[in-house]
Structure 1
């Protein structure tokens, strides 16, 4: 038979180790200290978190809808930005480059996260040694680009 602890994902189960009395104290204890054998020392009381709110609120849904409308739009970088993570084009200046918004990462799994660069933008860079353009992905703020 399934218990509540087995039907919920493990991330919602909170296990608390037992607390132990101090080994040496200066005064005698007010009550006798329980002696744990090996079996009881390894047991942990587990409580299940049943009051989790996994539903997204209306403002998060609105933010997701606004961001979904921006995905796929072409943008041009207006801020002077340099990226160093592209091996085939080191010290790449993104100012003036055009790209496509691929993803909005400000909301993850229905929850708002603190992404300081929430827009994932993909650029196609022509490199002289390569026959095809190189795809470059960079995270940007909305103030750093303009929509075309």
Structure 2
């Protein structure tokens, strides 16, 4: 299975039969489903489980609905924040830098994940040691590390 589920037997297990229907409650799908488990009669162990989902639609959360409006917004970094991942630049303080939100990664493939720094922000800056053209780079930030300009 690709999602965590709580299994509870819907009927007592009868090892004389080869298949048993199992009730599944999934917190990710917000629905209940059924699975068909096939037992190996010789070893009395489950050999395969096939999930049968009655209603695969997820309930959308308010967090998922708000994020598309934030993508593309102009932001300014408000805390002292040093980054070290830009080539040929030993360190860079982003405090006061302006950028654009490119991605919100706390929701991935419709599932909420626990990203520590969920906002991917794109910056264009002229940097010493990198020539005259502005350098494009990304940084991941928390919401309390920047303010919206729009």
TM-score, normalized by length of structure 1?
0.65
Bigger drift between 76-85 and 49-58 goes to 49-58
Larger Rg belongs to: 1
Alignment of 1:57-136 (within 5 A): 57-59=59-61, 62-128=62-128, 129-136=130-137
Say if 1:99 and 1:124, in contact at 8 Å, map to a contact too.
Answer: yes
CA deviation after TM superposition for structure 1 residue 53, in Å: 6.8
Gaps of 5+ in 2: 4-36
In proportion to residue count, which structure has more strand? 2
CA-based RMSD:
3.1
More relative contact order, 1 or 2 (CA 8 Å, 6+ apart): 1
1:46 to 41, 48, 51: 48
Contact 1:55 1:110 survives alignment (8 Å): no
Q: Which stretches of structure 1, 4 residues or longer, exceed 6 Å deviation after superposition? A: none
Where structure 1 has 5 or more consecutive residues not aligned to the other structure, the ranges are 1-9, 19-33, 37-43
TM-score by length of 2: 0.64
Q: Give me the whole-angstrom Cα distance separating, in 1, the residues matched to 2:83 and 2:124.
A: 14
